[in-house]
Structure 1
Amino acid sequence: MSRISCYIKVGEVSLHLYQVIAGFILLERQGIIKLNIEIMKNTVQVQTPNNMVEVIINNDIRIIYDLNDGYDNLLNEDENYLDFMNKLLDRCDFYFKRSYSTKQNINLKHPNKIYPLGLNYMVTTSRNIAHRPFPLDPVKEKVKKLIRMLPFSEFYNGNYKLETFQDIPRKQSNPKILFMARLWEVTKEDFEKNPKKGEERKYINQVRAECIRLCQKEFGEKFFGGVNASPFSLENYSDIVISDKKITKRNNYLKKVKESTICISTMGLHESIGWKFGEYVAASKAIVSEQLHYELPGDFLEHKNYLSFNSPEQCVERIYSLLENENYRYQMMVDNFEYYHKYVRADRLILNSILTVLNKERMNLSEQNTHSIYAYI
């Protein structure tokens, strides 16, 4: 049986890329693709920026997978996203982007090359090559990777496998609500360096804090939430800091997610859809989310897969609408279960991108043949 050839060129491997590489490895184990991974040993060989990976399909079709939070988070002060993106689009046939925006793409030189990749979060599989310290990884990341290999570590890779996040929809007569978050440190230097991004961090912190405070007030014991302890959060948001550090450890956090029915999500850096959102979909939860700024593949829809809010007060209103309608709440969980297995699970995420490529290539070939026929008429 012939298999699709996939050649991956890997330089620095960040946490953002674990999901993509895991997807390719799983497809190889399933006998769908033939996988070859080449580890780049110097920066001259690497032509994709951070949080990206280049893949060549069937020795011919060049793909870039971009897992960055937005369009401008890698730019220098004198760069604009159009120049940055156009250079990348010039050197590939297909470009799959996590933070995909039709509005942002419309001014690009090759908007037809770019497609939505889907939800991203830190998820992996056993024996994922991404777990290794790579030659081009920063020294700090190499150390962290070694720590993640230790079974007794809170950040052990085994705690991030597909099955760790996956759950099935469940009807609950006493539904629980969850919002555990981190806050971004905001310093005077942040504002001086990039006032826009400094304001964004300040806004994210304020929305998360106010959502937690209102939910604590409105829902009492039905709600569990707070922010991770850090010098910044303890100094500025001490009233909502989760004092028991055991609860915020990875395994205990995921246990809280699975015990909950309704989970809250807010905007991430660069207006991204945060990792929590993908984790909630994997766990088949009913989701209340701050308005999404990027688009997802498939039929992921507001009111079907999530309810959106534009203020902490509206967040509370959306939660009430789910609490008051058990059937609607359960159907949303079922819809997210279905969407996860079609579009989010690491192997499906990558298989969908490969199918997009193959179908597009087939259509292009068909058009070329049609033009050839007309040439003889």
Structure 2
Amino acid sequence: MLYTPIKFRNIELKNRWVMSPMCMYSCENGLANDFHFVHYGSRAQGGTGLIMVEATGVEPRGRITNHCMGIWNDEQVAELEKIVDFVHSRSESKIGIQLAHAGRKGSTWNNLQIPIEEGWETIAPSAIPYHPSERIPHVLTADEIKGLVLNFKEAARRAIKAGFDIIEIHGAHGYLIHQFLSPLSNIRTDEYGGSFENRIRFLLEIVDAVNEELNEDTALFVRISGTEYAENGWNIKDSVELAKVLKEHAVNLVDVSSGGNIHGAKIAVFDGYQVPFSSEVRNGAGVRTGAVGLITKVEQAEEILQKEEADLIFVAREILRNPYIAVQGSFEMKEDCFFPHQYTRAKIST
């Protein structure tokens, strides 16, 4: 199944390997550069079915650090378009982008909040910092929330202009959307807080706004944290219920990660440790899902698909170590996979 095509709207992926979005902290003023061109292009040359560009801020305050990628102006679009054009013209890979806002977890470096003179005032649904030592974030008004929804919509428009095949909305890892989802970080009493329906409202408004910019030639994914590993916090049952709603709002795949919203949460990490969350969301909500989390071997990835625990395999650290995991896996499984014709002499069949 790893090398079986799969279709989302009109977008067909040649295989189920996905390069997971991973911040590279290598931009100036949010601009992609030669490093990103080589970084993403090399994974496409390795046969990866889908390349996901890292968390990309929909406004300057949406970045995690001063060196994170952005898509709030046309200059940024032009640099991203170069990467997209290379992937489309020199491989069989599709390419997506993760639209993000860091919220209260922004204005940092090396996981520490930087002085406001070097960074910016962070924002959040409630006046609760990620860590007690950090500045109290600005509490968003309802009108400001509407403005952020528009930021995501405009970012989606720019992403389409750059030529991306898939847009992923980042609702995981304790960033702004996740902050709204969790009753531990969202204690609002207006229409964006309190009940489950109110806490998911911000995400659904973003999904609907982004979908207004899309047609059948651009698919829509949403990344969530299946659980945040905290008592009375966001949990897997919430994720299943959210996924059911996202399906009704024309989301094509739910990319299931975990954690990130509660400082000091205890997480047991082992090979494939997040796969059960993907499985529960997939089978509980009847949606396509992506599995991520220490998936390092071809056999492991194939087993996840065979057991119907996910539809796509998102690979992070392993694809940093080995940009050619997809094509090398095809050698092992005796399957077809894109391999640059320039490298044909290195292709093996045994």
TM range (shorter): 0.3 to 0.5
Structure with more helix by fraction: 1
TM score, norm. by length of structure 1: 0.31
